[in-house]
A and B are shown apart, each in its own frame.
Chain A
Amino acid sequence: MKIAILNGNPAEENSSFDQYLRNLQGLLTGRGNQCELLNLRELDAGYCTGCWSCWVKTPGRCSFADDSDLVCRAVINSDFVLFASPIRMGFLSAVLKKFMDKLIPLVHPYTTVVQGEAHHRCRYAAKDYPLGGLLLEKTPGTDHEDIEIIQAIQARTMLNLRTRNVFTMLTDHAVEDVVDAILRC
């Protein structure tokens, strides 16, 4: 199985989050999987500017040709993508969101109807889009409703990538439990 982990931890000081993901990567690799860990805060990319060049000038890739290319390539070539983030102000970190915004080259500008709603058409073959999972770290003040809100929005984002969010887990869980959840997919 090919797995990509998108590490949305914005703060180097939060070393326990990074360590958790390294352990996860180690265990997955040890069980015969290919696992790429991308530390998003170390990548070089600007915010999506909404120019839509990735749809109408350089179809399929950001015209700024920054490190978001690496992330798009990893996502579309994986069987499973783990979106990992400490919760910040009740949501995924800005750095993770920045790179999620930059996944739009993976779909077409053209629209179609999915589950009764307008959505973008797939650029790649349906089988190319990976399943997704969400790994969150609670912060002081995080409550059940925050997690529900994040999960509901993530389900929408995955629908727009024509795939689904298979699980939402917290770093309170043992790393082995996350490994099992991924390998069950």
Chain B
Amino acid sequence: MRYCVVNGSPRGKSGNTAILLESLVEGIESTGTVEIVWFHLNDVRDRESAPKAFRTADVVVLGFPLYTDSMPGLTKAFIESLAPFEGLEDNPRLAFLVQSGFPEAQHSRFVERYLQKLAQRLNAPYAGTVIKGGCEGVRLRPQEMNQALFKQLCELGVDLAQGGKFDQARLENLAKPEHYPRFLATLFQLVLLLPVTQAYWINQLKKNGAYDARNARPFVSEN
């Protein structure tokens, strides 16, 4: 089996999407002899070769970070390059991974519906979409804190390789929290007013000497 893994993240190999895709691939590889071909769309050469490789794959895994509620522009350009394959038979099976900085899976459900329709548009079997929120910390925290997440992704990779699709219960479990209960949301609203909850941003601003300019409104005149 030949797998094309397409990383649609503008951060390429060093981003969270790549890290999550690697765990998924580890699961796929654990099932036997498979061929894995990677494409990082932030690399111009991969951007050109990925559409050409699309029809040579048995399975294409497309992963991306949620950018303003859907796929990044870079990933959308890749999807548009698949237009010549619309309506053809024998397109590869499609699996997706969407990760977001927002903690809840809810934010990614809207693009999930799009991806399902995309598979249909390409006459491609749909293997499902892995959704995980709260991922900005993945590349920053000690790797042992990611072990549970990596293990679940690995298992999803095994599902894909052995059954051709992700296990629904496993997808739902990984996606938690789907959304916050209403009473907690009100509590969070108050908690998020505490500077400590925004510490990551405040520290970054200070490190860059930009803290005093943090509330800048460069595009409107202040009078």
**Which A residues form the contact surface with B (CB < 8 A)?**
47-50, 52, 55-61, 69, 72-73, 76-77, 88-95, 97-101, 103-104, 106, 108-113, 116-119, 123-124, 128, 141, 145-146, 149, 152-153, 156-157, 160
Distance A72 CA – B68 CA, assembled complex (angstroms): 14
The answer to whether A59 touches B215, judged by C-beta atoms less than 8 angstroms apart, is: yes
Q: Is the interface of A mostly helix, strand, loop or mixed?
A: mixed
Given A47-B73, A50-B10, A153-B69, verify A112-B189 contact (CB < 8 Å).
yes
Partner pick for B219 among A73, A94, A141, CB 8 A cutoff? A73
Is there a chain A Cβ closer than 8 Å to B104's Cβ? yes
For B78, the closest partner residue in chain A by CB is A94
List the interface of chain B (C-beta within 8 A of A).
Answer: 9-11, 15, 42, 65, 67-74, 76-77, 79-80, 82-83, 86, 102-104, 106-107, 110-111, 113-114, 117-118, 121, 179-180, 182, 185-186, 188-189, 192, 198, 201, 204-205, 207-208, 210, 213-220
- The answer to whether A160 and B68 have CB atoms under 8 Å apart is yes
Q: Which residues of A contact B117 (CB under 8 A)?
A: 90, 145-146, 149
Rounded to whole Å, the gap between the CB of A88 and the closest CB of chain B is 5
A61 to B218, CA, bound (A): 7
Contact between B69 and A47, CB atoms less than 8 A apart:
no
Between A and B, 24 residue pairs with Cβ closer than 8 Å are A47-B10, A48-B67, A48-B73, A50-B10, A55-B201, A56-B208, A56-B210, A60-B219, A61-B218, A69-B219, A91-B70, A97-B71, A97-B72, A98-B74, A101-B68, A104-B68, A111-B192, A113-B185, A117-B107, A118-B104, A141-B86, A149-B114, A152-B113, A156-B107
Cα A113 to Cα B121 with chains together (Å): 36
Cross-chain contact A88 with B80 (CB below 8 angstroms): yes
Q: Across the interface, do B218 and A113 meet the contact criterion of CB distance under 8 Å? A: no
B42 — nearest CB in chain A belongs to which residue? A49
Residues of chain A lying within 8 A (CB to CB) of residue B189: 112-113
Among A52, A58, A72, A90, chain B packs the most CB atoms within 10 A around the CB of: A90
> A99 vs B103: C-alpha distance in the bound complex, in angstroms?
25
- The answer to whether A76 and B220 have CB atoms under 8 Å apart is yes
Enumerate chain B residues within 8 angstroms of A119, measured Cβ to Cβ. 102
A residues within 8 A CB of B10?
A: 47-50
Q: Is the CB of B204 within 8 A of A123?
A: no
Q: Is the CB of A153 within 8 A of B110?
A: yes
**Chain A: CB-nearest residue to B197:** A111
Measured between alpha carbons, how far is A50 from B41 in the docked complex, in Å? 14
B53 CB, nearest partner CB in chain A, Å: 18
The 8 closest A-B pairs by CB, nearest first: A98-B73, A56-B204, A113-B189, A94-B77, A94-B76, A116-B185, A156-B69, A97-B73
Find chain B residues with CB under 8 A from A108 CB: 214
- Closest residue to A107 on the B side, CB-wise? B68
Q: How far apart are B10's CB and chain A's nearest CB, in angstroms?
A: 5
Q: Measured between alpha carbons, how far is A123 from B201 in the docked complex, in Å?
A: 14
- Residue on A nearest B217 in the bound complex, by CB: A124
Across-interface contacts of B76 in A (CB, < 8 A): 88-89, 91-94, 97-98
